[in-house]
Amino acid sequence: MKIATWNINGVKARIEALTAWLREASPDLVCLQEIKSVDEGFPRLEIESLGYNVATHGQKGFNGVAILSKLPLEDVTRGLPGDPTDEQARYIEAVVSVGPRVLRVGGLYLPNGNPLGTEKFPYKLAWMRRLEQHAAERLAYEEPFVLMGDYNVIPDPIDARRPDAWLGDALFQPESRQAYRRLLALGFTDAVRATTEAQVFTFWDYQAGAYQKNDGIRIDHVLLSPQAADALVGVHIDSHVRGWDKPSDHVPVVVELAL
């Protein structure tokens, strides 16, 4: 099956691109980030008409995540455990049955953390601690589990065209990168890095002709549990979508699993 993650930067502004890409790529399951919509405002019918089940976890104006799936979504949970006072809609999880097996999927929109020196950066790091705790609990199930989304972390210098330009940025701080490595050390496989050593990007800023200059970063990641990694067939970044009219600044990352 074909699963994907895509930060669409506003589902209302992106509905044409989203439906065009769903028709073109025909993924079985997609995690969306930054829907920037309340649940009632999500264009559910247009997406259901393409054969998808829809689960959303939205909020007004900012953030918001969703899962689209051709297979029925079971056991949908919303919000990342560990802080009942956190009101930002950044995590959704569900299970799909693939024949006799199950696939568990967590879709996340990790806090940006900028600017440094404000409360936003500690919030990011605390969120990553909570994610680590939750991921460890899920890995203990020893089932195919995919944790994917916009991590807002540039893991290594090769993951930026101009790493020097990101030195003062929350996405490339040592603490952010270390927290990402701690997550991997739990036993996850970074699907992109498992299949290529090449420099590849998932985000290009709207400013300064970044896409035309290929001045990008890799911050959208697909992490596979050992059981999911065993089923890994291939990975594809749909970079061409960044060149469409009214694009998101992120592009879809697609993973094929033999499930």
Residue positions forming the annotated binding site for Mg(2+): 7, 34, 150, 152, 249-250
Shortest CB 219 distance to DNA, Å: 6
Q: Which of 2, 70, 78, 120 is the binder for DNA (CB under 7 A)?
A: 120
Shortest CB 114 distance to DNA, Å: 4
203 touching DNA, by CB under 7 A: yes
For the chain, the residue count is 259
Q: Which is nearer to DNA, 64 or 144 (CB)?
A: 64
- x/- binding map, residues 152-181, to DNA, per CB under 7 A? x------------------x----------
256 touching DNA, by CB under 7 A: no
Please give the residue ranges that form the binding site for DNA (CB under 7 A). Answer: 7, 9-13, 34, 36-38, 60-63, 111-112, 114-115, 120, 150, 152, 171, 203, 205-209, 217, 219, 246, 249
